[in-house]
Amino acid sequence: MKGESPMRVLPVSLGRSFNGLWFATGAANLGDGMALFVLPLLAIAVDASAGGVAAVTAALTLAWPVFGLHAGWIVDRVDRRTLLSAVNAVRGLLLGGVTAAFVADVLSLPLILAVAVLLGVAETLVDTALTSTIPMVVVPAGRSRANARIEATINVTNQLAGPPLAGLLAGATLALATGSSAALYVLAAGAALAVTLRRTRTAPAPAGGAAGADGGAGPGGGAGTGRAKGELVAGFRFLWAQPVVRTLTLFTAAMNVVWAVATALLVVYAVEPGPLGLTPAQYGLLLTAMAVGGLVASVLVEPLRRWAGTTRLMIADAVGTVLFVLPVAVGAGIWAVAAGAVVAGAGSSIWRILAGTVRQNLSPPELLGRIYSASRMISWGVIPAGAALAGVVAEVWSLRTAFMAASVLAVVVLVAFVRFALRTDLEAAVRGPAETPA
C-alpha cells in the first residue's frame, strides 16, 4: 500500500560461542582438505601400487557405514565441546606421527592405512558433533544462517583452499604438508574449548516416543546390553518416526545415487581420451567451478530463501541433480556439462544447509547426534553401491547408458520431491519452533 515501508527483518546475532565453533570448523576443515590431498601422495612416496593408493582413499571413507551409529551414540553421551577438542587433538597427533615417520624414513603403507582409518573414524565424530552442537549455541531463528556460514567455510577450506595449499607445501616436502595439517587440527582443538553450550528443547519426540529423555530405551526399557542397543538405535527410530526428517533423508539417499554415478564416471567422459578431451588440469578447473557454485550458493542461501522460499530452493536442487547427469547422457559438450556441474554444486550446498536446519529444528537436542549419524549412514551408505553399479553398467553397456539411467532416476526423484514439497510446510520447518528453556 502506498506510504508503507517494507518490513525489515534484522538478522539474529549468532554469538561468540558460534564464532568459536565457526573458527574451529574452518581450521579443522582446512586440515582435512590438506590431509585428503597428501595421504595418497604419501602412499606413492612409499612405493605403493595403484591398488594401495586406492585403498588409502577407501580407508578414509570406511568409517561412516561401519561406525556411523556408534559415533552418534558417543556424541549424545558426552560433552560435545570436549569431544570436538579431544578428537581434533587426536587428529593432530596422528598427522604429527605421520610427519615424524616420514622424516625418519620409517613410513609404510600399513601405517598410512591405519592412520587413514582412524582419521575416518574421527571425521564421523567431529561431523556429528558439529551439526549437533549448532542448536546448543544458536537459537532456531539463526540456525539457517549459521548452517550457511558453516557450509561456506567448509567449501572454501576443505574443497578450494586445502588441496592447492597442500600441493604447494608438498612441492617443498611432504612433511611440511602433513605437519601443517597437524597444526591446524591442534588449532581447531583449542578453538573448540572457547565454545559455551546451552541447553534447550526445540522439538518433542514423535507420538509413541522413539526414546527416553536420555536417548535410551525410555521407561520400562531393558537393561544392560538391551538398553545399550536401544540407545544406539534411538536416533534411527526417531528419524523413521519423524515423517519430514525421514522423507528428506530418503530423498537425499536417492539423489546421492545419482551423484555417485556422476562422481565415479564423469572423469571418464571428461578427460582425454574421453569425449570432452580435457587434460587433468582442465578437469580440475571443472571441479573447482562446481565447488565455487556451492560456495556462492551457501553465501546467498538466506537472501535467496527470503526471496524464493525454502520449497522452491529445495526443488531447484533436485533440478540441479538432473542437470548434473543429463548433459553427459545426451552427449553434450563442455559448456553444457560445466553449467550443469555448477548448478548442481550450488543446489547441493543449498540442500545440505536447509535439510540440515530442518533436522536440527525437528529433532530433540539429546538425540541429535544419533539422528544425524543415522541420516548420514542412510544417505551416504548408498554411494559405494551406486558407484559400483554405475561401473558395471558402463562396462556392460556404455558410459552414456549409465548416465541415462541416472538421469531417469533423477527425474523420478524430482517429480516425487515436488509432490512432497508442495504439501509440506518446509518453510516452517526451517524457521523452527518457538524455543523454550530446558
Mean pLDDT value across residues 366-379:
84
Output the pLDDT for position 133: 86
399 pLDDT more than 90: no
C-alpha cell at 319: 533440478
Mean pLDDT value across residues 170-190:
93
pLDDT band at residue 220 using 50, 70 and 90 as cut-offs: very low
CB 257 within 8 A of CB 409: yes
Mean pLDDT value across residues 407-433:
90
Mean pLDDT value across residues 352-357:
88
Dihedral, CA of residue 229, residue 230, residue 232 and residue 235, to nearest 10: 160
70 pLDDT more than 90: no
Mean pLDDT value across residues 122-149:
85
At position 308, the amino acid (one-letter code) is: A
Least confident of 163-172, 276-285, 311-320: 276-285
The string of DSSP letters for 347-361 reads: HHHHHHHHHHHHHHH
Distance CA 167, CA 174 (A): 9
52 pLDDT more than 60: yes
Return mean pLDDT, the chain: 82
Predicted TM-score (pTM) above 0.85: no
Distance CA 437, CA 244 (A): 24
Output the pLDDT for position 273: 81
pLDDT band at residue 142 using 50, 70 and 90 as cut-offs: confident
Mean pLDDT value across residues 317-339:
94
Least confident of 53-62, 166-175, 238-247, 275-284: 53-62
pLDDT band at residue 182 using 50, 70 and 90 as cut-offs: very high
Output the pLDDT for position 160: 78
More confident residue, 90 or 278: 90
Output the pLDDT for position 411: 97
Q: What are phi and psi of 175, to 5 degrees?
A: -65, -35
More confident residue, 383 or 50: 383
Least confident of 46-60, 128-142, 314-328: 46-60
Q: Which domains does the chain have, with CATH numbers?
A: 15-200 (1.20.1250.20), 232-432 (1.20.1250.20)
144 pLDDT more than 90: no
State the alpha helices, DSSP H only, in 330-398: 334-362, 368-396
CA distances to 197, 243, 356, 434 from 238, in Å: 23, 10, 15, 20
Distance CA 169, CA 46 (A): 18
120 pLDDT more than 70: yes
CB 284 within 8 A of CB 336: no
pLDDT band at residue 366 using 50, 70 and 90 as cut-offs: confident
Output the pLDDT for position 225: 53
Least confident of 246-250, 328-332, 381-385, 410-414: 381-385
pLDDT band at residue 106 using 50, 70 and 90 as cut-offs: very high
2 pLDDT more than 90: no
Residues 6+ apart with CB under 8 A from 60: 36, 39, 116, 117, 119, 120, 123
Mean pLDDT value across residues 166-195:
90
